[in-house]
Structure 1
Amino acid sequence: MNPIAAARAYQAIQGAGSAGAVSPTDAPGFSDLVQNVIASATTQTRAAEAQMTQVVQGQGSLIDVVTAISSAEASLETAMAVRDQMIQAYQEIMRMPI
């Protein structure tokens, strides 16, 4: 999931109040968003691996490999940021007095 799609999904969940906003019952859940981020990172990593394989076989372009690796890296960083925020939120909840 790219950052723009993530921002749009977040806006849809928050119910931006505009006429075209998605209702809370139609909005994807948090687990769906996390699964989409992980699936996107996996897909982009596999695409980068395919590009590297093509270059090794002499069929691809080095520029395509660099672009695919950069995209995969951005997806992985997004997934790691989501993970870090989830861990931080969990730790904050555990510190709350009952």
Structure 2
Amino acid sequence: MNPMAAMKAYAAVQGGGMPTGGAAPAAAPGFGEMLQNVMGDMTKQTRAAETQMTGAIQGQSNMIDVVTSVSSAEASLETVIAVRDQVIQAYQEIMRMPI
């Protein structure tokens, strides 16, 4: 995940506090919407990496750009996998709770 996406996600989660002044709080994105945004960002970064790799094969891209794109896509994928694992673990903990 790139730093800007992480900052946006953090701000969205933290934005649920008390409103300042008399203004009504802005509607914060839901958890599902936040996950969709993260998945969309990961998909965009993966496609950008694929485009850079294709360009490198055709001799049109710089190898540094390819490595940077692939590294960014890999970090995004690892973040999504870590979030998925945490969601599954939380679900399993909830299912173990006595009624």
* Band of TM-score, shorter chain: 0.7 to 0.9
- Structure 1 position 64, deviation (Å): 0.2
- Structure 1 position 61, deviation (Å): 0.2
- In the alignment, structure 2 segments of 5+ residues that lack a partner are none
- Residue in structure 1 matched with residue 41 of structure 2 by the alignment: 40
Which deviations, in whole Å up to 9, do the C-alpha atoms of 1:43-77 show, x marking residues without a partner?
10000000000000000000000110111111111
TM-score (structure 2 length as normaliser):
0.85
| Matched length | 95
TM-score (structure 1 length as normaliser):
0.86
- Residue in structure 2 matched with residue 6 of structure 1 by the alignment: 9
- Structure 1 position 18, deviation (Å): 5.7
Q: Which has the higher contact order (CA 8 A, sep 6+)?
A: 2
Alpha-carbon distance in 1 for matches of 2:66, 2:19 = 41
Give the percent of matched residue pairs that are identical in Structure 1 and Structure 2.
61
- Residue in structure 1 matched with residue 87 of structure 2 by the alignment: 86
